[in-house]
Amino acid sequence: MTDSPYWNPRHETMARKDVEALQVRKLRNLVEWADSQVPWQAKRLRDAGVTADQIRSLDDLQRIPIMTRDDWMQGQVEEPPFGSNVAVPRESAIRYHMTSGTTGKTPIRVLDGMKDWEWIAEMWCYGLWGFGVRPRDVLFVAFGYSTFIGFWGLHYAGEKLGCLTLPGGAMATDQRVKQIVDMGATVVASTPTYALRMAQEARALGIDLAGSSVQRLILSGEPAGSIPATKKLIQEEGGARAGDTAGMTELGTIMIFECGEQPGGTHIIEDNYIEEVLDPESDRPVAHGEMGERVVTSFGRGFIPVMRYRTRDLVVKVPGMSCRCGRTWDLYEGGIRGRVDDMKLVRGTNVYPRAVEAIVREHPEIDEFQIHLYTAEGRRDEIEILVEIPDQEADAGGITARLEKELADAHEALRFGVKQVDLGTLPRFELKAKRLVDDRIVIGTEGERRAQA
Ligand SMILES: [Zn+2]
C-alpha cells in the first residue's frame, strides 16, 4: 500500500460538486429505502409529500422532516425493545449497543447488522489513517468494552488497518498505564478526560509516559479534544500528538476526525454523511462560520435509516479548503463546541461549560474541576468553580484569584467563586465527563427568572 495521507484518496479529494452529486445520489437511495422498509418513516415522508424521485439537489433535503431523539424513543416505547425505525428483520442483527445512560435518560437501543459493523470500522479507518496511524502501529484501546459503543469501532478499524490492537477493557488505570509502556504502544485511544487521568496515574507510579513510545492519542467521547488548552495539556502530559474525533451512538461510529495537519478543526466524512448546520430555533441553515446545531443524515447505517437527525451538538462549519491537507471535505472549526442544552443563563449572562473549561485548563496545576450552580438566599443565581490542586507547593491562592479574574473578564464581569477543595472530592470520569452541577431552585416561570436576573 502506498503511503497516501488519505484512506480513500478519490473521495477525500473530490471536487465539491462531485461530493454533492454523490450525496444527492445516496440521499435518493436512502429515502427510497426508508420509504419502502420502515412504515413509520414512510408515513412521515408521505405527510411531507416527499418521494425519492423528487430528490434532485441538496436543497431537497430541507423538505424531509427532522427527526428527534424523542421520535426515536417514541418508536421504542411503541414497539419494544428495538423500536419502529428498524428496517431489517431482527434475525439479521449481529450486535447490539446502546447509549451510555450517563444523562439519566432512557438509553437508545441500536441493532447492528453485518453491514453496519463493517461500515462502523470503515468510518474509524478514515479517522485513524487520516491522523497518521499505520499498520506498523501498536494500538492500545483504553476503554471498558460493553454495550456502550465507545471505541468498539476503533478497535475493529485498528485490526482492519493491520495494527497490533490491544483491547484495554476490564483494567484499572494503573494496569492500563503499565501495559501501554510494557507493550510499546505507539497509539492510545481514550476520552480526553481519561487521557489526563492516565497521565496523572503514570506520574503517581513514577512512569514517564511522555518519554514512552506513544506518538499519537486518538480522542473521542467528549468535546474537550478540540479545546486548545485541554488538548495542549493532554499533548504535553502524554508526550504525543492528540487527534480529535467525534461520533454518536445513533450512528455507531464517528462522523468527523482531525487530519495530520491539525488545522484546529475536524473534517466531516462527507461521502458518508450530510451534516447540516441549522439555527436551533428556526431550523433554517446557517452560513459557513456561524454557530448552529448539527443535523445528520447517514448513508452507512444498515439497520436504521438516519435522516435529518437532530443532534443538539453545536458546531461551526468552515470550508475544507481552509486546511492544507488537500481534503475537500468541510471542517467543524473547534470540533463539537458543546450542546444546545449546555448553555446556562446566570444573572443574565450566558455561560458555556466549554468556555469555562478552556480557561480552567490554562492552569495545569488544576487536575480536576467542577462548575457548580446554586441559589443563594433563596433567590439569587450563583456560580462557583471547585478545583483540586494536588501540588502542595503550588500557589493555590494565586491560582484561584487569577482564575476568578479570567472567568469574570470572559463573562461580562460575572462573579465566579473559585474554591479549592480537598483532593479526591470531585468525581473522576472514564467515559463522558459531567462537570456541571446545577443545584438551582427554580422559582416562578422562566420569564420571571429572566426578569430577576
Ligand atoms: Zn485537513
The CA R_g of the chain, rounded to the nearest whole Å, is: 23
Least confident of 107-116, 302-311, 367-376, 429-438: 429-438
Cα atoms in the 13 Å half-sphere on the side-chain side of 397: 0
- Expressed in angstroms and rounded, the spacing between residue 124 Cα and the centre of ligand 1 is 16
d(CA 267, CA 271): 11
Banded model confidence at residue 1, pLDDT cuts 50, 70, 90: low
More confident residue, 125 or 429: 125
- Expressed in angstroms and rounded, the spacing between residue 5 Cα and the centre of ligand 1 is 10
* 432 has a pLDDT exceeding 80: no
H or E element in which residue 164 lies: strand 164-167
Phi then psi for residue 57, to 5 deg, are -145, 170
More confident residue, 302 or 103: 302
- Expressed in angstroms and rounded, the spacing between residue 335 Cα and the centre of ligand 1 is 13
- Expressed in angstroms and rounded, the spacing between residue 292 Cα and the centre of ligand 1 is 22
DSSP 92: G
- Expressed in angstroms and rounded, the spacing between residue 113 Cα and the centre of ligand 1 is 31
pLDDT tens, residue by residue, 353-406: 988 999 999 999 999 999 999 998 888 899 999 999 999 999 999 999 999 999
* 52 has a pLDDT exceeding 50: yes
- Expressed in angstroms and rounded, the spacing between residue 244 Cα and the centre of ligand 1 is 12
* 446 has a pLDDT exceeding 60: no
- Expressed in angstroms and rounded, the spacing between residue 75 Cα and the centre of ligand 1 is 38
- Expressed in angstroms and rounded, the spacing between residue 271 Cα and the centre of ligand 1 is 15
> How many degrees, rounded to 5, is the angle at CA 268 between CA 115 and CA 42?
50
Length of the chain: 453
Average pLDDT along the chain: 92
**Residue 247 is placed in which grid cell?**
461520533
- Expressed in angstroms and rounded, the spacing between residue 316 Cα and the centre of ligand 1 is 16
What three-state secondary structure class fits 345? strand
- Expressed in angstroms and rounded, the spacing between residue 260 Cα and the centre of ligand 1 is 7
d(CA 66, CA 384): 37
What local confidence, expressed as pLDDT, does residue 453 receive? 43
Q: Would you give the distance in Å from CA 348 to the centre of its chain?
A: 28
The percent of residues above 70 in pLDDT, for the chain, comes to 96
pLDDT tens, residue by residue, 108-130: 999 999 999 999 999 999 999 99
Mean pLDDT, range 421-437, rounded to an integer: 87
- Expressed in angstroms and rounded, the spacing between residue 327 Cα and the centre of ligand 1 is 6
What local confidence, expressed as pLDDT, does residue 451 receive? 46
- Expressed in angstroms and rounded, the spacing between residue 314 Cα and the centre of ligand 1 is 20
> How many degrees, rounded to 5, is the angle at CA 250 between CA 247 and CA 256?
20
- Expressed in angstroms and rounded, the spacing between residue 230 Cα and the centre of ligand 1 is 20
Phi then psi for residue 92, to 5 deg, are -85, -5
**Residue 166 is placed in which grid cell?**
490491544
- Expressed in angstroms and rounded, the spacing between residue 228 Cα and the centre of ligand 1 is 17
DSSP string, 231-286: HHHHHHHHTSEEEEEEEETTTTEEEEE--TT--SEEEE-TTTEEEEEE-TTT-PBP
- Expressed in angstroms and rounded, the spacing between residue 198 Cα and the centre of ligand 1 is 28
Least confident of 25-39, 75-89, 91-105, 352-366: 91-105
- Expressed in angstroms and rounded, the spacing between residue 99 Cα and the centre of ligand 1 is 30
- Characterize the bridge pairing of strands 344-346 and 349-351: antiparallel
- Expressed in angstroms and rounded, the spacing between residue 182 Cα and the centre of ligand 1 is 33
- Expressed in angstroms and rounded, the spacing between residue 133 Cα and the centre of ligand 1 is 15
* 416 has a pLDDT exceeding 70: yes
- Inter-CA distances, 282 with 79, 87, 336, 380, 450, Å: 31, 30, 20, 31, 22
- Expressed in angstroms and rounded, the spacing between residue 15 Cα and the centre of ligand 1 is 15
**Residue 249 is placed in which grid cell?**
451512538
d(CA 252, CA 250): 6
- Expressed in angstroms and rounded, the spacing between residue 263 Cα and the centre of ligand 1 is 6
- Expressed in angstroms and rounded, the spacing between residue 324 Cα and the centre of ligand 1 is 6
- Expressed in angstroms and rounded, the spacing between residue 323 Cα and the centre of ligand 1 is 5
* 2 has a pLDDT exceeding 70: no
What local confidence, expressed as pLDDT, does residue 379 receive? 82
- Expressed in angstroms and rounded, the spacing between residue 266 Cα and the centre of ligand 1 is 8
Least confident of 194-208, 310-324, 335-349: 335-349
Mean pLDDT, range 174-184, rounded to an integer: 97
What local confidence, expressed as pLDDT, does residue 104 receive? 60
d(CA 182, CA 188): 13
**Residue 270 is placed in which grid cell?**
462527507
What local confidence, expressed as pLDDT, does residue 310 receive? 96
- Expressed in angstroms and rounded, the spacing between residue 4 Cα and the centre of ligand 1 is 13
pLDDT tens, residue by residue, 210-227: 999 999 999 999 888 889
What three-state secondary structure class fits 313? strand
Banded model confidence at residue 430, pLDDT cuts 50, 70, 90: confident
d(CA 300, CA 27): 11
- Expressed in angstroms and rounded, the spacing between residue 132 Cα and the centre of ligand 1 is 12
